[in-house]
Amino acid sequence: MFAIIDVHGDQIKVLEKRKYNVPRLDSKVDSEVTFNSVLMIGDEKKVKIGTPEIKGAKVNDRVLEHIKDDKVIVFKKKIRKGYKKKRGHRQQYTKIEVLKIA
């Protein structure tokens, strides 16, 4: 069974007993999180699509850890003007494990 959930504007396809990196959540490590904004649920036989969400559907997860992505370097320069900027950015993620799709 799979589900497509909405996490802070990102739509993620999840399966039970799997681990995913989602945008940073304000939950503590080893806590339970429930996503109520389920957009689609399906299995081998049938698929149910929400308009826009499925009422009563939820996905239970456990927060494993908070991590950061690799650094992305942003470098700007204008030729012969003496202008240059170098900035770095690391996107923050939360690693979750899907416990149950209901």
Per-residue pLDDT 10s for the chain (102 aa) are: 999 999 999 999 999 999 999 999 999 999 999 999 999 999 989 999 999 999 999 999 999 999 999 999 999 999 999 999 999 999 999 999 999 999
What is the phi/psi pair of residue 39, to 5°?
A: -90, -30
Task: List strands edge to edge, sheet with 47-49.
Answer: 10-15, 2-7, 38-42, 47-49
Question: What residue numbers bound the domain in which 21 lies?
Answer: 2-101
Predicted TM-score (pTM) of this structure: 0.83
Domain count along the chain: 1
Q: What is the pLDDT of residue 94?
A: 97
